[in-house]
Amino acid sequence: MRVALFVTCLVDGLFPDVGKATVRLLERLGHEVVVPPAQTCCGQMHINTGYAGQALPIVRNHVRAFEGADVVVAPSGSCAGSVRHQHAAIAREHGDAGLAEAAEDTARRTYELSELLVDVLGVTDVGAYFPHRVTYHPTCHSLRVLKVGDRPLRLLRAVEGIDLVELPAAETCCGFGGTFALKNADTSTAMLADKMSNVIGTRAGVLTAGDSSCLMHIGGGLSRLRSGIRPLHLAQVLEHTR
């Protein structure tokens, strides 16, 4: 299958190894990965902070950038959620029915990584080997917007050598939430403290999730505590082999 990678701003700018891991994983599974050069931000940041009108040209660019792709994958539940649940609505609210229709078409072809692997490519055992103690944090957008359910866990359970331990209160938000962490710093910090306490309690060496944003938030806190726990995106765990 020919897969178009929607790399997302955060991965492109701060965590390029996540994008590279996604490409290596999909190519190892026998798929062609292309990276449309015209892609930019999906506009979620604008939409979530009340600048929907300013997001409209970004939505239009996103639709054009991925026009004709068989499927689109994003290593982010948050950005995939914006494409799937915000783009067409924003276009419709601003009276652009043509863009709304095109955005709906793009949304139907867009998947978060675990969705693509399990639902589209029909694989849970990707042939990974990762001999480490790992705990998994289900991010809010993947859990509540995309409803990926246990797909990431099914992928992780199939990894050879992994010691996968359950994270207490896993479905509780880490406190990031994009600009929420900036606008409500004290609340965000308190939520982060609870999440870090639960992560540390697992005695895992690696924390994994499907969104680099949440991993950045939790990982930043864990590094300040000198916990020794590494934050790794799901793609970075699944790409490992013997």
In the numeric block, which tokens belong to residue 125? 């055992």
Cα dihedral sign for 139, 167, 28, 214? positive
Taking alpha carbons only, the member of 225, 233, 211 closest to residue 81 is 211
Distances (CA, A) of 51 to 33, 47, 87, 95: 32, 5, 13, 16
Beta bridge partners of 232: 208
pTM above 0.85, yes or no: yes
Q: pLDDT at position 174, please?
A: 96
Contacts of 204 (CB under 8 A, 6+ apart): 133, 134, 135, 165, 229
Write down the residue that tokens 């009108």 correspond to: 53
Other beta carbons less than 10 A from residue 201's beta carbon = 12
Where in the chain are the domains? 2-120, 133-239
Average pLDDT per block of 10 residues along the chain, 242 residues long: 96 97 98 97 92 95 96 97 97 97 98 98 98 98 95 98 98 92 95 98 98 97 97 98 96
Other beta carbons less than 10 A from residue 111's beta carbon = 24
Q: pLDDT at position 179, please?
A: 85
How far is it, in rounded angstroms, from Cα 19 to Cα 35? Answer: 10
Distances (CA, A) of 109 to 5, 8, 70, 142, 180: 12, 16, 7, 16, 29
Q: pLDDT at position 36, please?
A: 97
Length of the chain: 242
In the numeric block, which tokens belong to residue 187? 């609340």
Q: pLDDT at position 109, please?
A: 98
Q: Are 207 and 199 in contact (CB under 8 A)?
A: yes
Q: Are 42 and 70 in contact (CB under 8 A)?
A: no
How far is it, in rounded angstroms, from Cα 186 to Cα 201? Answer: 23
Supply the DSSP symbol for 165.
E
